[in-house]
Amino acid sequence: MKKVQLTMEEWQRLAAITPKERERALKRLGRWVHNEIIHRKFSLEQGPFSRAAMGGDAVDVICEECLQALLCGEWHWKPNRELSSMLINIAKSKMGHIIEDYYEHGKPELSLLSDYDEDRESMEMGIAAQWKWEAEMRDNGYEIARKAVANHPELLAYLDAMSKDDTYVGIAIALKTDVETVLKLENKLLKLVAKEIAK
């Protein structure tokens, strides 16, 4: 468990969360987690987000862990961020770690299956890296990203949309496009940022 030095203002905002705000944010977080698991073609029966690997329903476990991480002071909560947006950011990081830990610990329930797919593991590790990068970029990497895409107006617009709503549907609505286009923009952005970081 990482600890960060929260400001008094951050602690006050955490203490001021009403039950209604918490419920609304957890509902939105739960929908986001469920949609990401399904959209990325993870299984709730086997793999990193299975009941066996998670010790319960993946959506419930992740939502509870994200809320606890925020309330226990493991993450900075910037004043201009909604509670649900903050929890989604934490979920990206946690879900990335869940996948990495799952494969590092030997994918317990898959070791006996004959249809284990090595390509799937590689893809899932890529998704884990992407989620973790998005979580870090949200707070630390916008400047790097903006510099990397300075000559790409469509990617600058993507970053602006992402700063307001970090769900694919929300970004698509802001950009007046579809989720498929958002995913293509995201891939292009990730490649340009990777080049910028490698310089």
Nearest to 99 by CA among 147, 134, 171, 50: 50
Distance separating the N- and C-terminal Cα atoms of the chain: 32
pLDDT of residue 113: 43
Mean of the per-residue pLDDT values for the chain? 82
For residue 155, the surrounding DSSP H or E stretch is helix 153-164
Q: Say which residues have a Cβ less than 8 Å from residue 89's Cβ, sequence separation at least 6.
A: 75, 81, 134, 135, 138, 139, 166
Kindly tell me if the per-residue pLDDT of 157 is higher than 80: yes
Contact (CB, 8 A) for 66 and 121: no
pLDDT tens profile 118-137: 666 777 777 777 777 677 66
Kindly tell me if the per-residue pLDDT of 116 is higher than 60: no
pLDDT of residue 112: 41
Tell me, yes or no, if the pTM score tops 0.75.
no
* Chain CA centroid to CA 62, Å: 11
Task: Give the tokens for residue 91.
Answer: 């979920």
What's the number of CA atoms in the CB half-sphere (13 Å) around residue 36?
26
Task: Give the tokens for residue 145.
Answer: 């990203």
pLDDT tens profile 3-23: 677 788 888 888 999 999 999
pLDDT tens profile 136-152: 665 566 777 888 888 99
Q: What is the mean pLDDT of residues 150-155?
A: 91
Kindly tell me if the per-residue pLDDT of 24 is higher than 90: yes
Kindly tell me if the per-residue pLDDT of 185 is higher than 60: yes
Q: What is the mean pLDDT of residues 48-60?
A: 91
pLDDT of residue 111: 43
DSSP letters for 71-137:
HTT-S---TTS-HHHHHHHHHHHHHHHHHHHHHHTT-GGGTT-TT--HHHHHHHHHHHHHHHHHHHI
pLDDT of residue 2: 60
- Please, which pLDDT band fits residue 114 given cuts at 50, 70 and 90? very low
Q: What is the mean pLDDT of residues 166-193?
A: 85
pLDDT of residue 168: 79
